[in-house]
Amino acid sequence: MRKPIRTALATAAAGALSVVGITAAAASPAHPQTVGPAAQLNAAGEFAPYVDMSNSGEGLLDTAITDHGVKTYTAAFTIGAGCDNIWGDTLPVGNDPYTDPEIAKAKSEGADVIISSGGASGQPLAFTCTDQSKIDAGYQKEITAYGTTSLDFDIEGAAVADAAGVARQMTAIKDLKAKNPGLTASVTLPVLPDGLTADGVNVLKAAKTAGVTLDNVNIMTMDYGQGTGTDMGAAAISAGKATLAQMQSVDSGYTYANLGITPMIGVNDDGSVFSLADAASVVSWAKSNGVGRMSYWSVSRDQSCSAARATAKGGTGSVPTPRGASPVCSGVPQSPFAFTDALGKG
């Protein structure tokens, strides 16, 4: 998934969307705080939208929790830097002055965090370090520092074809589960409407070889590169059906409860559009089949670009109309958090 890097504080203050502007907008709702439809959670299972923790839009998480009932979210991304485990903005896990307070605040508001490693602009620690003990320690620090009971590993780009790295990742998952009873682990993988790539299936095979049953195989139902006319709702459903068949070809014990669906809301990088109507069709199918996790990329994009402009530096900031996917808005007409409500309602 897309992962912009947070710039230095001075640059961020002068940039298109300031931390202060977003946070102020989130902290001062125009109506009393109410629990929106997402509070029911997704009847298909867990609802855990991604939050980009390094694009200065993390403050929107507060509103998603307090006004729209989000109870679990996926914090993205930690990445490997050699054998160090850091957030994507280069700051250390457990000592990030931006991310750590956001996670603590969300916890105080009643929301659980899934820590996600990897993404489009970095790789999980197991792919940048070959020392298994240091890999395990790096991931253990996430568990200890943030009190999480769930880790996600977003394996894409070159990483998905790195057999040695995948093997180290599965060993780490096995080791961490042994040390932390109750820990759940998911892998997030690129997908096409007809299912996982061959490399993605090999990730599942590596888990089986390591003796690991993945709690969730989360597929990125986005950016298929098949043209702007793609029916993104139908494509997500098709991808989900095909992926389950592939999962079961590796391990017959997998069910829809072990599947996750993660679209990119609004305009995708390839120009295709995942609409609110698509969200309604996908969540209906997911509920009917008991899909284990619904998510989306990302909370900071769940607003129209005109709304993003209005909050940028008190309405004077520059948030250009996106060509492709913007990190701070969906690129489609919508009310704020409309996708959160559509994908999170039971």
Q: Kindly list the catalytic residues.
A: 156
Kindly give the residue spans of alpha helices, DSSP state H, lying in the chain: 9-14, 19-27, 60-66, 99-108, 132-146, 163-179, 198-210, 232-250, 276-289, 305-311, 338-344
Decide: helix, strand or coil at residue 334. coil
Report the number of secondary-structure helices (H) and strands (E) in the chain: 11, 13
* Pair 78, 38: CB distance under 8 Å: no
DSSP 8-state class, residue 180: S
Around Cβ 145, how many Cβ atoms within 10 Å?
A: 16
- Those residues whose C-beta lies under 8 Å from the C-beta of residue 323, and which sit 6 or more positions away, are none
Residues 6+ apart with CB under 8 A from 73: 48, 49, 50, 51, 61, 64, 65, 106, 111, 112, 113, 114, 299
Enumerate the H helices of 251-337 as residue ranges.
Answer: 276-289, 305-311
